[in-house]
A and B are shown apart, each in its own frame.
Chain A
Amino acid sequence: SQQGEEDPQALSIQEGENATMNCSYKTSINNLQWYRQNSGRGLVHLILIRSNEREKHSGRLRVTLDTSKKSSSLLITASRAADTASYFCATENNALAIFGAGTRLFVKA
């Protein structure tokens, strides 16, 4: 069953703009992870945020976690055409990660 649900399902922006994707979940978690998938490829781990953390940064990525609202957001700043991909959140509890259906991001050059 799906735990995390990403919103929006698809997002189209211009290069240089910021992209924000959201993830909501239903049960308690140990951590939440974000992944990127280019078309036809495997997933690439971007960032992991633990349940006791509220915000993490990695380069142009900023992830927030609100456990009271059971939600997380991924912000990509100053987007580039190469950021075009699908982005998935995964919630982990009891050492198993459950992935959402993803947000498809298209960055126009």
Chain B
Amino acid sequence: SQTIHQWPATLVQPVGSPLSLECTVEGTSNPNLYWYRQAAGRGLQLLFYSVGIGQISSEVPQNLSASRPQDRQFILSSKKLLLSDSGFYLCAWRKSGLNYGYTFGSGTRLTVV
């Protein structure tokens, strides 16, 4: 069966520090991968998605970047965090093609102080 791992669960980082959040998927190949951010009590904002190794599409220009160094690994990064980067970050995957649901990781609560 397929599983998705996302870590860390919580993170407190000072303003200006770098960020690296990692997400890996097991039990499938060539998944579509996604990074979402959720503000408190709000919906999900799509940040990045990837349909293959090295293929990254950005939905929102901001202080973050994403990379997909391996088929089932998706990394969210920042060189210098801003206070506004605080939020709940969720990684998700789904099969390529239409009409498949998304499977989400357990999320990372990032607080920038």
Residues of A within 8 A of B (CB): 2, 30-31, 33, 35, 40-45, 48, 50, 88, 90, 92, 95-102
CB neighbours (8 Å) of B66 from chain A are none
Chain A neighbourhood of B12, CB < 8 A: none
CA distance A31 to B36 in the complex (A): 19
Q: Answer yes or no: B101 CB below 8 A from chain A CBs.
A: yes
> 1/0 per position for B98-111, CB-CB distance to A under 8 A?
11111111110100
Residues of B within 8 Å of A90, CB to CB, are: 102
**B residues bordering A, Cβ < 8 Å?**
6, 32, 36, 41-44, 46, 49, 51, 59, 88, 90, 92, 97-107, 109
**Interface contact B44-A88, CB-CB below 8 Å:** yes
| CB-based contact B43/A100 at 8 Å | yes
- What are 11 A-B residue pairs whose CB atoms fall within 8 Å in the complex? A31-B99, A40-B88, A42-B6, A45-B103, A48-B100, A88-B44, A92-B98, A95-B97, A96-B49, A99-B44, A102-B43
Known: A42-B107, A43-B90. A48 touches B101 (CB 8 A): yes
Name A's interface SS. strand
Chain A residue at minimum C-beta to C-beta distance from B91: A42
Q: How far is the CB of A70 from chain B (nearest CB, A)?
A: 17
In the complex, which residues of chain B have a beta carbon less than 8 angstroms from the beta carbon of A31?
98-99
Instruction: Report chain B residues within 8 Å CB of A35.
Output: 102, 104
B46 touches A96 (CB 8 A): yes
Cα separation A41 to B6 with both chains bound (whole Å): 12
Which residues of chain A are near B109, meaning CB under 8 Å?
Answer: 40
The reply to whether A98 and B99 form a contact with Cβ atoms under 8 Å apart is no
Structural contact, A30 and B99, CB atoms closer than 8 A: yes
Tell me the complex Cα distance, A53–B17, Å: 48
Name the distance in Å between B101's Cβ and chain A's nearest Cβ: 4
B6: chain A residues within 8 A (beta carbon) = 42
Q: Which chain A positions have C-beta within 8 A of B46?
A: 96-98
